Structure 1
Amino acid sequence: MARAEVREVVFRIRWRWVRLSAGVGAALGGLLLLWGYPQVQAVLVRSSSLRAEDVEATLARAPLLPSSTRAHLGVRYLYDPAIFDPPRALEHLRRAVRESPFDYRNWMHLGQGYEAVGDRARAEAAYRQAIAWAPEYFLPRWLYANFLLKHGERERALEAFARAARAHPEAAANIAELLQNEERVAQLARLVPEADVRARLCAFLLSRGALSAAVSLWRDLDWNEKAKLGLARIMIARGISTEHYALARALWCALGRRLSERAACSDDLVWNGGFELAPLREMVPALSLSTLGVSEEFAVPDRDFDWQIENEAGVMTRIAREEPYQGERALRIEFTRHENVRFSGVAQFVLLRPAATYEVCFAYKAEVRGDPRVVVEIVGARRGVPEENAVLFRWSLPREAGRAGWTLVREVFRTTPETSLALLRIRRVPADALADFVKGRLWFDAFSIHPIEDGVRPAEGEAL
């Protein structure tokens, strides 16, 4: 039997032809790119134009375009009144979902399409699928919650809004705005345990004047939450501005107990009358409503029940440790300018009862030359605005008060039937004469205001 011969086969690669083939391929690819780029650019431009038929024609010529182009066209058929056509929109949106089933945006738009044609069951299924593909995103949950709310399912809508707020706390104010109901906002807050969301809902209620509802939410916040102290200041200011004086005072007392062991609200209506405590506003940084998603147009002037102590031109005011009347500190006022000095930099709001009699006490020490013209006044302050024509009490520093030693002042005054909030203040008004001179310093301490029974007159002031 003859054996077949085995012949050696050798393949030789001619690199010249390889290089030529690669060059031809690169040239053809470049030409294709040069042709295709303007076409793609034209598609993108046309897809956002107002002529939907242009996009339809482009999709017919290039069916492999991204599904987002088809979804965009479907959304335009839903919301452009000039080409409103829900059935055609659904045609494009269904195909977009088939082409890209894992894109939550396609499912979200499909839900809008089914909602437009009245297919509630499929719309809900599409929204839920969009949430399933993007559980941490806000927009699918927002659209789904709106869908439920429009169809009267308020309880389920609140639960969906709560989950949306957890996913995106910054939108809490927008959700509350949509609910338009204090009770619903409170229900929403109970469904959301996150403190950040509750703080934002509290700020929203404050911006709408719902102080009592806001306080209820505020009480549920832990004191360790950063926003709680700042919200307390805002609520106190809101209470004063809206004549909820008792609630504002109760909030102030709660804030004081939290920040200082020695701070307590008692029968004495003057807060920190002996100047022993540091101002609480220095311990609580101001909180802006805008940081909680609420417009600053709803802000109110910053007011509370602490001493408002400010330096003014020609006058230096501070709390000092210089032989106080009692305790360790006293208020010191020094006139650094000696002519035409006007001053009203020490004041405090005091909550009083209408048509009631009170005893006001304080101690002073003066080292003053010239005409002091320093007065201690209590005036009505409805909504936190001093009423100059509603003076309840006025005491003037005697001209001969330039001697060492403390003097205790005890006087009685009576409020009017309209009085609820008053302003206790120390001020100086310059004389009308050309020669208005004052020099030196004075101290005040031990301010207190107590209710007394009618007909009981306290002892006169005494020198110590």
Structure 2
Amino acid sequence: MVIRLHARSAQIIVAGTIALVFLAASWAALRPWLAERSLSRDPTRETASRALSLDPANHRIRAMIAALHHYSLRLRDYPAALAAYQSILRDNPLDGVVWLHLGKLYAALGRLSESDRALRLAAQLGQSNTALLWETAVAYLDQEQPSRTLDALTGLLSASENPSDLAKGYELARTLLTSEEMLDTFILPTVAHYTRYANYLLDRNLNDQALAVWIRLADLAPRTAEPIDPYLQLRVVDLLMQAGRLDSAHQLWTAAVQRMGFADAKAQSNLVSNGSFEWNATVGRGFDWRIRGVSGVAASIDPFTAYTGRRSLRLIFTKSRADFSYVSQLVPIRPDATYALQAQIRTDGLTDPTGIAVEVIDPDGHALVTTDAITGTKGWTAVTAQFRASDGIEIVTLRVRKAPPPPYLPPISGVAWIDNVSLARVP
């Protein structure tokens, strides 16, 4: 009986000890949370003191109290904030965020040399912290120190690939520098940095400045043996075409589609880009097809119907009287040469005697050649035509054409598909 009582007493002691340990551990875990919660819900001097008494070693609470003394209109106390920041940094001198706030506080106190030292330490310690680098740049801007601002922004642009971070950095830098100075002194001369800045400019339709960046990028890339982003190349192709620099645009286009794996090795003689409509990424760009519907005509790529491959162009006519020529592309050619035009056309229930054709237009808008038109319901049918380009014609427009029905006939309905369009020089 005595042995059983002693055993039971021992069990009670062990259980009580475990419970006390558990309670102590729970309190240790809850204490920081309770302290931070009380301070965040009621930021007053009393709650700040109570929070610190609950967890005096809590680094986050000390930083929150320092920030309250620094930034709060109700609790502003610069000497208390300074003492708090300095106390935190004595324990953790590698805290870049605290160095940032200390630098701002020194600036507010007029101690600019100490502010500069603190902000430089913040930037050094937070080289991968884009938010800290941005705040450092803004702090220097507030002190009217443009060179230090630009140094911090350079760090920001080196640390981030996030478009919003890059845009903020570029926009602030552009308030301090001219467009020429941006390239000469600020944008790092690397393929990656030129690419990001060119995209930023193109997004904002700053086309002349984007071309200036492109010239530097195109000169640098071969010397560093680094590839250029083909999607940026496509954007520059569009820009060069708008500027009328078609030769340069076509050279760049050829390089871009080859790098993207879209060049058709089976038909190098075919001057048509994406004549089989298999490439999706380049449709609407550069020298690829421009595809647009109009009232009564839906134009799109059909992923399930093709003469060869998997895709083709599909036109759906629904009670249409449109003079349709809104699928086209520019094709560079050599003057004084003969060319053969070919295509495959399929129709289903196309209720119109004029039919679907493919034609080539010169720069003045005159038709150089038009294939036979296909109408009604027909399987894949080859259409061909030849023409000779006269002197002075170096680029033509290739387009799908559907003439409007005569006024005495009803509107057009039906479907047409076009595939395997080619234009080749005849030897």
Q: Same fold (TM over 0.5)?
A: yes
Separation (CA, whole Å) in 1 of partners of 2:327 and 2:268: 12
Residue matched to 2:47: 55
1:141–1:163 contact (8 Å) kept in structure 2: yes
Give the deviation of 1:44 after TM superposition. Answer: 1.2
Could you report, residue by residue, the CA deviation over 1:230-277 in whole angstroms, capped at 9, with x for unpaired residues? 10112223455xx4232x65243234257669xxxxxxxxxx996257
Contact residue 358 and residue 401 of structure 2 kept, 8 A: yes
User: Could you tell me which of 114, 119, 127 is aligned with 2:119?
Assistant: 127
- Structure 1 portions without partners, runs of 5+: 1-13, 262-271, 288-300, 321-331, 353-357, 381-390, 416-420, 449-464
Task: Compute the displacement of 1:344 (Å).
Answer: 4.1
Equivalent residue in structure 2 for 1:159, among 134, 137, 151: 151
Amino acid in structure 2 at the alignment position of 1:253: Q
Which position in structure 1 is the counterpart of 2:98? 106
Matching of residue 305 in structure 1 with residue 271 in structure 2: no
Residue 254 of structure 2: aligned partner: 256
SS at match of 1:376: strand
Taking the aligned partners of 2:275 and 2:186, their CA distance within structure 1 comes to 29
Mark the CA change 1:89 to 1:284 in structure 2 (over 3 Å): closer, same or farther: farther
Which segments of 5 or more consecutive residues in structure 2 lack a partner in the other structure?
1-5, 260-266, 293-297, 346-351, 375-381
Q: In the alignment, is the contact (CA less than 8 A) between 1:363 and 1:407 conserved in 2?
A: yes
SS in 1 for 2:365: strand
The alignment status of 1:175 with 2:169, answered yes or no, reads: yes
Once the two structures are TM-superposed, the CA of residue 52 in structure 1 deviates from its matched residue by: 2.5
CA deviation after TM superposition for structure 1 residue 127, in Å: 2.4
Aligned counterparts, 1:357-372, within 5 A: 362-363=339-340, 371-372=354-355
Deviation at 1:125, TM superposition (A): 1.7
Q: 1:347 and 2:321 equivalent?
A: no
Question: Is residue 2:384 matched to residue 1:409?
Answer: no
Q: How does 1:286-305 map to 2 (within 5 A)?
A: 286=281, 302-305=284-287
TM superposition score normalised by structure 2? 0.64
Q: Which has the larger radius of gyration?
A: 1
Deviation at 1:444, TM superposition (A): 7.4
TM-score computed with the length of structure 1 as normaliser: 0.60
Q: Match of 1:90, SS?
A: helix
Question: Residue by residue, what CA displacement relative to the aligned partner does 1:198-245 show, whole Å, maximum 9, x if unpaired?
Answer: 3222211211223323323532553665652110112223455xx423
Q: How does 1:27-426 map to 2 (within 5 A)?
A: 27-32=19-24, 39-59=31-51, 61-62=53-54, 64-170=56-162, 171-180=165-174, 182-187=179-184, 190-191=187-188, 193=190, 195-208=191-204, 209=206, 210-220=209-219, 222=221, 225=226, 228-240=229-241, 243-246=242-245, 249-257=247-255, 275-276=270-271, 279=274, 286=281, 302-306=284-288, 344=325, 346-349=327-330, 362-363=339-340, 371-372=354-355, 374=357, 376=359, 378=361, 392-394=365-367, 397=370, 408-410=386-388, 423-426=397-400
Q: Do the aligned partners of residues 142 and 28 (structure 1) sit closer, same or farther apart at CA in structure 2, a change above 3 Å counting?
A: same
Structure 2 residue aligned with 1:266: none
* Aligned partner letter, 1:393: H
Q: 1:284 to 1:115 in 2, by over 3 A?
A: farther
Distance 2:390 2:362 in 1: 14
Is the contact made by 1:149 and 1:157 (CA closer than 8 Å) also made in structure 2?
yes
> 1:170-214: CA deviations, max 9, x gaps?
333331122235345424664353x33332222112112233233
Q: What SS does the corresponding residue of 1:409 show, helix, strand or coil?
A: strand
In the alignment, residue 245 of structure 1 is paired with which amino acid?
A: G
Structure 1 position 41, deviation (Å): 3.5
Return closer, same or farther for 1:305/1:15 CA change in 2, 3 Å cut-off: same
Q: Is the 8 A contact 1:249 1:305 kept in 2?
A: no
> How many angstroms apart in 2 are the aligned matches of 1:140 and 1:442?
55
Q: Evaluate the alpha carbon distance shift between residue 157 and residue 351 of structure 1 in structure 2; reply closer, same or farther with a 3 A threshold.
A: farther
Does 1:428 pair with 2:402? yes
1:428 Cα deviation after fit: 1.5
In the TM superposition, residue 347 of structure 1 has moved relative to its aligned partner by 1.6
SS of 1:222's equivalent in the other structure is helix
Alpha-carbon distance in structure 2 between the residues aligned to 1:282 and 1:365: 14
Separation in 2 of the partners of 1:429 and 1:219? 44
C-alpha contact (below 8 Å) 2:271/2:424 kept by paired residues: no
* Distance change >3 Å, CA 305–CA 258, structure 1 → 2: closer
Encode CA deviations 1:97-134: one digit per residue, 9 max, x unaligned: 23333333322322232233332222222223334444
Calculate the aligned-residue CA RMSD, in Å.
Answer: 5.5
What is the DSSP-based 3-state SS (H/G/I as helix, E as strand, rest coil) of the residue aligned with 1:169? coil
Are 1:236 and 1:249, in contact at CA under 8 Å, matched by a contact in 2?
Answer: no
Aligned mates of 1:21, 1:251 — CA distance in 2: 87
The whole-number CA distance in structure 2 between the counterparts of 1:341 and 1:76 is 71
Contact between 1:189 and 1:198, CA under 8 Å: does it hold in 2?
no
SS across alignment from 1:191 = coil
Alpha carbons 1:141, 1:161 under 8 Å: kept: yes
Q: CA deviation at 1:60?
A: 5.8
C-alpha distance in structure 2 between counterparts of 1:397 and 1:229, whole Å: 34
**1:458 aligned residue:** none
Offset, 1:69: 0.9
| Counterpart-to-counterpart distance in 2, 1:98 and 1:20 | 46
CA distance in structure 2 between the aligned counterparts of 1:280 and 1:106, rounded to whole angstroms: 61
Decide which moves more: 274-283 or 436-445: 436-445
> Structure 1's 212 and 86: CA in aligned 2 closer, same or farther, altered over 3 A?
farther
Deviations 1:15-47 (A, max 9, x none): 999988766655544555566666543311122
- The 1:155–1:349 alpha-carbon spacing in structure 2 relative to 1, beyond 3 Å, is farther
Q: Which amino acid aligns with 2:188?
A: L
Shift in Å at residue 392 of structure 1? 2.7
The answer as to whether partners of 1:230 and 1:286 remain within 8 angstroms in 2 is no
Q: Equivalents in 2 of 1:283, 1:100: separation in Å? A: 60
Which amino acid letter does the alignment assign opposite residue 159 of structure 1? D
Distance 1:364 1:280 in 2: 11
Q: C-alpha distance in 1, partners of 2:139/2:149?
A: 8
Q: Classify the secondary structure of the residue corresponding to 2:387.
A: strand
